[in-house]
Structure 1
Amino acid sequence: MGLLPLFTSMLLFSWTTLNAALKITKVDLSIEPSAAVYRDTNVALRCKAEVLTFGTEALNRVYTIYKGDSVIYNKTTSSSEDLLYHLPQARVSNNGKYKCKISIMGEEKASEAATLTVEGMSTPILRFNKANITEGESVTATCLALGETGSLLFSFYDNSKEVENARVTSNELTFVPKGVGNHIIHCSYLVFVMPNSFKSQTSNTVTLTVEELSIEPVLKISPQDNVYEGDTVNITCSVSNVTKDYQAGELLLSQDTELLKSGKTSIHVNWTAHARTPMLTIKCRLYLRDVVKVVNKTISVSELFSVPTLKISALEVFQEDEISLTCRIAAKGIKKKSKVLTIHPKVPVSTPKIWVSGSAILGRKVEIFCLSDTGTPPITYTLWKANKQNQIAIVHEFNKAANFTIVINEPGRLNHYLCKASNGNRTPEQSDKLQTAVIEPMTEAYLMVVPDVDDISEGHTVILICSFLGTPPVTVRWLRDSDDLNPLKTTTTNINTTSYEFVVNKEHTDNYYCQAENRANSVESNKINLVVGMAMWKKLLIPGTIILVVSSLVMVGFILFTRSRRVRVDRTPESVWSSRKPEADPLRKGTDTVYSELQNSPHGAADHHDYGSVKYVDLNGDQQPGITQHSPKDISYSDLPMPVD
C-alpha cells in the first residue's frame, strides 16, 4: 500500500473516531436583560451549548442565529464560551422569535425559540414645505419617524380624513388640498413585523391655509328675458382678473348636456333658442389645474307654436282598407315636425292550421300548435274542445305558432279539438278538427309456447307466441336470458300478437321472453323456462343398448359355464360306482350326464344284479379326483333311477 492511501485512511479513521466521540447534548438561547424590554434598551441574545468531546482538542463551532425562518447572523469559533449577539437600542422592528443552532463536524442541534418583545415607538414629526398655498396648488408633507427601523408605512390625514392615495412607504407626500380655507394635517406610521404590525402615535398637527383663486368664470346672456323660440341669444363665457402669471386653463360652454363651444380665455356664441323644456340651463365651466369653477344661468323660452299632431281616423286598419291622415301644422319663422307616425295596415289572419308536436300518447301531456300563415300580430289563438273554449294564447311575433299543452285522458278524443285565430274585430278564422291518432302505451305482454314445455324434445319445432296490448305498429324482440343483448329475432307488426318458430336442440334450454315496444314505451313479457328433452330415438336406444349388453354378458357367462363343466367331467378318473377292474369300466353316455348307466357283464350277457340308489356328486366341485367310493353294504336298494338327458 502506498503512503498517500495509507495517510488518507489514517485521517479518515481519526475523523471517524473523533466524530463518534462528539455529542451536542444541549443548546439554549436566552434574551438579556429580559424577553420584554422598552425602546432603546441594549439587548443581547446568549447562545449556550453543552458539548461532549473526546480529548482536549478545541473544535470549530459554527453558530447560526435565526429570526423567524431567516438567518440574521453566522459565526465560526473554536471557543467554547457562549455566543453573544447584540441588538443595541432595540426597536419595535426587533420584535419576533429567535433561535440558535450550533454545528460541530457535522453534528447539529438547535435551541428552542425565544420571543423578544420591544415596546415603545417614536412620535412622528410632520413638516410642510409651504404653509400657505392657492387653490389648485400642490404641497409636500414630510412625516419623520426618528430612529425607527424595519418596514414602515406612512399615512397622512386632512381634517381627520385620510388623504386619497396617501399610504406610502416613503415619508414624503405631495398632494393638492381640496377646498378653500384652513386644513389641519397630521400623520402616523406603521411598523410591519410579519405577521404583525405596530401603529405609532399621531404626529403634531400642521395648519395649511388654501387661498381662493382670484380669477372666476363670467357668463353673460343677452337677452335673458322674454325669449321665444327662434330668437337669437348672445352668450359669452370668459375669465375675470386674468394676470400675467395666469396659466391658461380651459373654458367649456354647454346647454344641459350639449357642448356649445370650448376655449381658453373667452367664448362667444350666437344661439337660436328652442323650447325643448320650459327652462333652459346654460353653464360656463373653468378648469385650472385641479380646480373646477362653474357659473350657470337659466332662461325661459316660450313656445311659438305647438308640435303638429298627426292622426289616423281608424283605430285598426286592415289590408285594402281605406285610411285618412290629418296633420295640423302652423309656421311662423320656425319649422316644426310632428312625430313620425308609421302606419302598418293590418293583414287579416288566414285559416289557422292545427297539429300536434311529436306523438300523442294516452295519459301524457301533448303540445298542440296553432298557426295562421298570414296575419299581423298580435294574434289571439283560442283552443276549443267540443264547442267549449279551452285555452287562449296571444302571439306577438310573425310566423310564430301558439302553443297549448293538454293531457290526453281518453283514446280517440283529439278529434274534438280545433283552434280559432283573430287579430282584430273581424270574425275569427277557424281551423279543421285535429286529426291525430292517440297512441296507447304498451300495458301488458304475455308469452306462451307450443307445444307444452313438458313435451319438448330435441328436433321438435317450438313456437313462441307473444301477445300484447298497445297501439301498433309494435316492434317485438325475442330474447333469452343467456344473451339478452342480442335478440333472437326482431319483427314489427300491426296486430296484437306474433310468433317465433324454431327447431330446438339441447343448446336451446334457457329462459325465453319477448319485449314489445311502440312509440310510447316498451314492456317485457313473462319468462318461460324451456327445457329441451332427449329425442325419442335416443330414449329407445338406451334401454335397447342396455338389454343387448346384458344379453351379451349372460350369453358369454353361459358359454363359459358350459365349457367349464365339460372340461371337469372329462377329466374325472373314476365313476361314482365302487372300484372295478379296469376291464369292467361302466359305459358313459356323454360327459355331461349326471347319472350312471347299467354295465354289462364281461361276457356281454344281461345279468340280473341288485342295484343300489344313485348318489349324485357335485361335478363342479374342486375335489373331483377324490370322489368318495361306497362299499356294497352302504348301498340301499331301490328302483333304478330314470335317466336324465
Structure 2
Amino acid sequence: MQLQTPHLTLVLISLLSLNCGSWAQSAFTIDSVKLTLLPGNSVESGTKVTLRCDVKVSHSFPQLSHTFTFMKYNTIIYSKNSSQAMVERSFTPARRSNSGSYQCRVTIHSKEKSSNTETLTVRGLQTPLLRVESNVVNEGEKVTATCSVPEETGPLQFSFYRNQQMFMILTSNENSTNTSVEFQESGESDLHCTYRHMEFPDSSNSSNIERVLIQPVTIIPSIKVQPGLEVVEGDRVRISCDVLGHSKNGYEVFLTDRETLLMSSPSSFTHSFEVNASSSGRYVCKVETGKTEKISTAELFVAELLSRPVLSMSPQQVFQGQMLTLSCRTLNINQERITKADVKFELYKDQHPLKEGHTFNFTASQSSNGNYTCRATAKNITKESKQLIINAKVPVSPPVIRAVGQVIVGKPFQLLCESELGTLPISYTLLRYQRPFYTLTVSGPQRSAVFNISYINHADEIHSFTCQAQGGAYSRFSQALNTPVIEPVSKPELSLGFPRGQTFTEGTDVSLYCSVQQGTVPVTFFWYRVGSSRPLFTSRSSVTRGEHVIRSITRDHRGKYYCGAYNDAGQTQNSEPVTVGVNLAGWKKAVIAVICILILVLIVAILVLFLKKARTPRKRKRAVELSVKPARPKSSDPMRMSLTLDIEDNTAVNNTPGVMGRNVWSDHVSDSESDDPGREEECEKLRYTEIQPQQPNNPEEVALVVEECVIVNSELQDGTQEDPDHQTTDSVEYVQLNHCNQNPE
C-alpha cells in the first residue's frame, strides 16, 4: 500500500493539471472588434486603401491566437491567423470595383465576434487603353481593336466608337476585350473605347484615340447587257462582266441574279441565255480581291410574248351527269412578234396530255374528277395555266326525317333531317303542314340538320312535319314524319267496383282499380294509403288500367286510398282519395253481442248488490228507532216503553210502491214526558194500534218487506236480551207491521 501511494498522487496531479489547462483555455472574453478604413471611407480611384481590424480580448494567460476574416457583402475576401490584436488588408491602388460594404470577424477557439460594417466608396474609373492591330489598311480589310483596364476587375462592359459613333458593346469578366473593325471606304477613321463597372451606372473617360488610314483599291467592275436592257420573251441576252484598272491576278468575278449565282470566273467573262418573263430583275457583277470587293449592277426588263393562259369551266358548279365545257385562252400577246394563230393550246389532266385545242366538252362523272391545266406555246415559249380542280357534285338524295330522342306531347323535342348522298353544302328546310318552318345550311363536317321544335298539342301533329333538301339545282323531299309519340297520362281515377264510400266485410278480397283516360302505354300504376309515404303496390301495365287486390281485408285496412300513374313522359298524376270502410265479420258481431249482454247482466247484478247494501244501514237505523218499554211501568223505573209509528213514504226511498208505512219504536223519553197525561194517553193508543198496510204489487216488494220484518224481529230480540230486568218484570206488546207477526217469547 505504501508503494502505490506515489503513483496515485501522480495521477491526481495529472488530472488536476488537465482540468486547470482546460479552464485556462476558456478563461477569456472578446470585448470588441473594430473595422477602420484608411485613409477614409470615400477616396479617389488609384488611392491606396487599408482595411484595419482591431480586437480587444480580456484573458488571464500570456498569448492567444486570433483568426481574422474580412468580408465584402458577407462574402469572405481575406482571412489570416495571428496572435496580434490587429490585422490589415490593403488595396493598392483602390479601384471602382473595390467599392462596397466591408466587415471584420474575429474567431478565438469556439467564440467569435463581428465588427461594425463600413462602406467604401471609390470615386472615378481608370482611363482605358485602346490598341489596334494596324493603323494602315486597304479598303475592305478588317482591323482588330483591343480595349483594356489593367487594374480593374470584372464584370466590365466595354463600348467601341468609330468616328464618335458607337458600333460595338461587349461584356467581359476580364479587364480587357477586343473586336474586329471592317473598313469599306477609303479615308481615315478614329477609334476609341470606354468602359463601366456592371455594378455601377457611371462610365469611364474615353481612351486614347487610334487613327486608321484606309487606302483605296484600284479595281472597277463593269457589266454590259446585249442587245439591251429591254427585251422580249424568247430573245437571247448576253451579259458581260469585266474588271478595269487592275493588272494583277488574284481576284475573282461573280455574276448573280438576286440570290442566284449565274456564273463565276477568275477573270472577265460573258454569260448568254434565252430570257423569259421571270428573267426580269437586277443583275450584279462582283469582284473580290483579298478582303476587298467591288460591285456593278444592271436592271433587265423582259416583256411577255404572251400572257399566262387561263383555264375556265362552264358551268361553274357541275353535278354528276351534267355536260361541262373547259376553255383555255390567253389575254395578251405581243402582236409585234406573234399572232393569235401562232399560239398552240393543249389540255392536261393530272399532268397527262388530254386533248389539243382550246376547248373541251364532256359529261361530268366520278371518273372525270381531277386536276386540269392547259398550256399555250409560241416561239418555244410555253406557259401553263393555274390548276383547275374539277369535282363533280353529287345530287342530293331524298332526305330522311326522324326524331332525336323521345317525342312527348307538350314538351320540346328535336327533329333531324339528313340526305345520305349529296355534295355539301346542303340546305335543309323543315316544313309543317307543307309550309316552310325553318331552314338550315350544312357545310360539314356533319351532313345532317337538327331542328328544335317547341311542342305539339296532339300526337297526330307529328305527321305534319316533312323535310326538303336542296343542293345546287337539285331539290328532294322526305316522307312525312312517322315516329312514336308519348302522350302524358291524364289524371287517374281510383275505383272499387262499387260506389264511393262502399263498406266491406272483414275477410273479403277488395280490388282497387286505377285507370287513366289518356296516356301512352306502358303505364306504371302505384297505390298509396293516405298518411303513408311508401306505395302499397306498384305495377307496370300495357293497358290504361291497373288493379291492386287487398286480400282478406281487415279493420286495419280502413282509411283513405289514392293511386298514381305515369309513363315514359315522366309526368306523374295522382287520383282523388277514396274512403274504404270495413265492417266486422258475423261471428265477431255475435261474440260482441254476447259479451255486451254478459257485461249488462254483470252491471245489473252489481247494481242490485249495491242497492241491497245501501238499504241495510237504513233498516238498521229504523230498527234502532223502535224501542220497547214495560206495559205497566213502575214508579221507580226511569225507563218507559212506548210504541210510536213513524210512517214514511217508501216510494221516496227506493221507488217501491205498495209500502205505505212502517212501525218503529219510539226513542227514550224523559220523566217529564212520561208524566204528561195527554202524551201518555196518546202513547197508550199507539201501543195497541194495528196498521193495515197495502198489499205489495209484486213479489220483489214482498221479499223486501219480509226481509225488513226479520231484521226488526232480530233487533227486538237483541234489545230484550240486553235488559233482563225489563224482561222479567214487564211484558212486550205485540206489534204487527206489514203482515209481519212479532211473537214475544
Determine if the TM-score, normalized by the shorter chain, exceeds 0.5: yes
Deviation at 1:435, TM superposition (A): 3.9
2:423 matches 1:376:
yes
CA–CA distance in 2 between the matches of 1:3 and 1:472? 119
Q: Using a 3 Å threshold, how does the CA distance of structure 1 residues 355 and 144 change in structure 2: closer, same or farther?
A: same
1:35 counterpart = 2:37: no
Deviations 1:27-79 (A, max 9, x none): 222223321222233322232333232x3432222222212222222232333
Compute the displacement of 1:349 (Å): 1.9
128 and 18 in structure 1: CA distance in 2 versus 1, 3 angstrom threshold: same
From 176, 180, 199, the counterpart of 2:181: 176
Could you say which residue in structure 2 is the equivalent of 1:253?
Answer: 256
Q: Identify which range, 157-166 or 28-37, moves more after superposition.
A: 157-166
**In 2, are the aligned partners of 1:252 and 1:286 still within 8 Å (CA)?**
no
C-alpha contact (below 8 Å) 1:183/1:207 kept by paired residues:
yes
SS at the partner of 2:23?
helix
**Amino acid paired to 1:35:** N
In structure 1, how many angstroms separate the alpha carbons of the residues matched to 2:12 and 2:573? 93
- Structure 1 Cα separation of the partners of residues 9 and 537 of structure 2: 96
Q: 3-state DSSP class of the match of 2:277? A: coil
Q: How has the CA–CA distance of structure 1 residues 64 and 301 changed in structure 2, closer, same or farther, with 3 Å as cutoff?
A: closer
CA contact (8 A) 2:53 2:104 kept: yes
Paired residue for 2:319?
Answer: 318
2:30 and 2:56 in contact (8 A); partners too: yes
- 1:333 partner amino acid: K
Tell me by how many angstroms 1:401 deviates: 1.0
Structure whose residues are more often helix by fraction: 2
Structure 2 counterpart of 1:17, from 1, 23, 31: 23
Change (3 A) 1:378 1:121: same
Q: Secondary structure in 2 aligned to 1:10?
A: helix
For 2:107, the equivalent position in structure 1 comes to 103
Per the TM alignment, residue 89 of structure 1 is displaced from its structure 2 partner at its CA by 2.6
Confirm or deny: 8 A CA contact 1:310 1:338 kept in the other structure. no
Worse-matched range after superposition: 56-65 or 110-119? 56-65
Partner Cα distance (2:54, 2:143) in 1: 55
2:24 & 2:550 partners in 1: Cα distance?
Answer: 97
User: For residue 83 of structure 2, what is the aligned residue in structure 1?
Assistant: 78
**Match of 2:467?**
419
CA distance in 2, matches of 1:360, 1:219: 86
1:49 pairs with 2:55? yes
Partner of 2:396: 349
Match of 2:234 among 230, 237, 246: 230
1:273 equivalent in alignment to 2:275? yes
Work out the CA distance in 2 between the residues paired with 1:516 and 1:52: 104
Identity %: 30
1:12 is displaced (CA, Å) by 4.5
For residues 365 and 291 of structure 1, the distance between their equivalents in structure 2, rounded to whole angstroms, comes to: 85
One-letter amino acid matched to 2:397: S
Kept after mapping to 2: 8 A contact 1:251/1:266:
no
Task: Note if contact 1:349-1:422 (Cα within 8 Å) is conserved in structure 2.
Answer: yes
- Aligned counterparts of 1:497 and 1:292: Cα–Cα separation in 2: 107
One-letter amino acid of the counterpart of residue 27, structure 2? A
The 8 Å contact of residues 145 and 181 in structure 2, kept in 1 or not, is answered as: no
For residue 138 of structure 1, report the CA deviation from its aligned partner: 1.7
Q: What amino acid does structure 1 have at the position aligned with 2:46?
A: D
Contact 2:283 2:299 in 1 (8 A): yes
Measured after TM superposition, the shift of residue 116 of structure 1 is 1.1
- Distance, in Å, in 2 between the alignment partners of 1:474 and 1:288 is 103
Shift in alpha-carbon separation, 1:336–1:78, aligned structure 2, 3 A: closer
How far off its partner does 1:21 sit? 3.5
- In the alignment, structure 2 segments of 5+ residues that lack a partner are 1-6, 330-342, 345-376, 497-509, 528-534, 552-562, 575-716, 726-731, 733-745
Paired with 2:19 and 2:220, the residues of 1 have a C-alpha distance of 96
Deviations, residues 449-487 of structure 1 (Å, cap 9, x unaligned): x9xxxxxxxxxx9x9x999x9988789999xxxxxxxx9
Specify the code of the residue in structure 1 equivalent to 2:47.
T
SS in 2 for 1:123: coil
Query: Matched residues in 2 for 1:84 and 1:474: separation?
Result: 106
Give how far 1:119 is off: 0.9
What corresponds to 2:379 in structure 1? 333
- TM-score if structure 2 supplies the norm length? 0.55
Aligned-partner residue type, residue 103 of structure 2: K
Render the CA deviation track for 1:523-546: whole Å, top value 9, x for unaligned: 999xxxxxxxxxxxxxxxxxxxxx
Within 2, Cα distance between the matches of 1:496 and 1:84?
112
Distance 1:35 1:139 in 2: 43
- Matches of 1:401 and 1:221 in 2, distance apart? 62
Determine whether 1:188 maps to 2:234. no
| CA 1:311–1:521: 2 relative to 1, 3 Å | same
Kindly indicate whether the alpha-carbon contact (under 8 Å) linking 1:138 and 1:174 is maintained by their aligned counterparts in 2: no
What corresponds to 2:305 in structure 1? Answer: 304
Partner amino acid, structure 1, of 2:32: K
Stretches of structure 1 that go unaligned for 5 or more consecutive residues are 451-460, 479-486, 504-513, 526-610, 616-631, 639-645
Q: Deviation of residue 175 (structure 1)?
A: 1.1
How far residue 357 of structure 1 moved from its aligned partner, in angstroms, is: 4.5
Once structures 1 and 2 are overlaid, which stretch shifts more, 315-324 or 487-496?
Answer: 487-496
DSSP 3-state at the match of 1:350 = coil
- Report the counterpart of residue 70 of structure 2 in structure 1: 65
User: Equivalent residue of 2:324, what SS?
Assistant: coil
Structure 1: which amino acid aligns with 2:234? G
Q: CA deviation at 1:147?
A: 3.2
| Paired AA for residue 253 in structure 1 | T
Work out which of the residue numbers 140, 143, 147 in structure 1 matches 2:144: 140
Kindly indicate whether the alpha-carbon contact (under 8 Å) linking 1:156 and 1:167 is maintained by their aligned counterparts in 2. Answer: no
Deviations 1:402-438 (A, max 9, x none): 4345252445566544332223234x21223344456
RMSD: 5.6
C-alpha separation in 1, matches of 2:539 and 2:421 = 45
Q: Which has the larger radius of gyration?
A: 2
What amino acid maps onto 2:417 in structure 1?
C
Q: Size of the alignment, in residue pairs?
A: 517
Maintained 8 Å contact 1:62/1:102: yes
CA distance in 2, matches of 1:244, 1:492: 113
Tell me the amino acid that sits aligned with residue 303 of structure 1. Answer: E
TM-score for the superposition, normalised by structure 1 = 0.62
Deviation at 1:269?
3.5
Structure 1 residue 92, shift from structure 2 partner: 1.4
Task: Note the 1:167-566 alignment, pairs <5 A.
Answer: 167-169=171-173, 171-177=176-182, 179-181=184-186, 182-192=188-198, 196=200, 199-211=203-215, 213-224=217-228, 227-237=231-241, 239-241=243-245, 244=248, 246=250, 248=252, 251-254=254-257, 260-261=262-263, 265=267, 268-276=270-278, 279-285=280-286, 294-327=295-328, 329-330=343-344, 332-339=378-385, 340-358=387-405, 368-396=415-443, 400-410=446-456, 415-426=463-474, 428-436=475-483
Measured against aligned partners, the alpha-carbon deviations of 1:280-327 in whole angstroms (never above 9, x if no partner) come to: 443445577777755432333333344445454544443333334444
The question of whether the paired residues in 2 share the 8 Å contact of 1:362 and 1:408 is answered with: no
The answer to whether the 8 Å contact 1:136/1:176 transfers is: no
User: Structure 2: which amino acid aligns with 1:91?
Assistant: R
The letter of the residue matching 2:275 is: A
Tell me, what secondary structure is at the counterpart of 1:163? Answer: strand
* d(CA) in 2 for partners of 1:364, 1:385: 17
Q: Distance in 2 between matches of 1:2 and 1:445?
A: 118
After superposition, the Cα gap between the structure-2 partners of 1:406 and 1:202, relative to the gap in structure 1 and judged at 3 Å, is farther
Asked if structure 2 preserves the Cα contact closer than 8 Å seen for 1:308 and 1:336, the reply is: no
Contact 2:263/2:271 (<8 A) preserved:
yes
The separation in 2 between residues aligned to 1:362 and 1:15, in whole angstroms, is 108
The amino acid of 2:193's aligned partner reads C
1:353 maps to amino acid: V
In structure 1, what is the Cα distance between the partners aligned to 2:238 and 2:412?
A: 74
CA shift for structure 1 position 380: 3.1
Note the alpha carbon deviations across 1:194-235, whole angstroms, 9 max, x for none.
xx5653223244444445554454433222256332222223
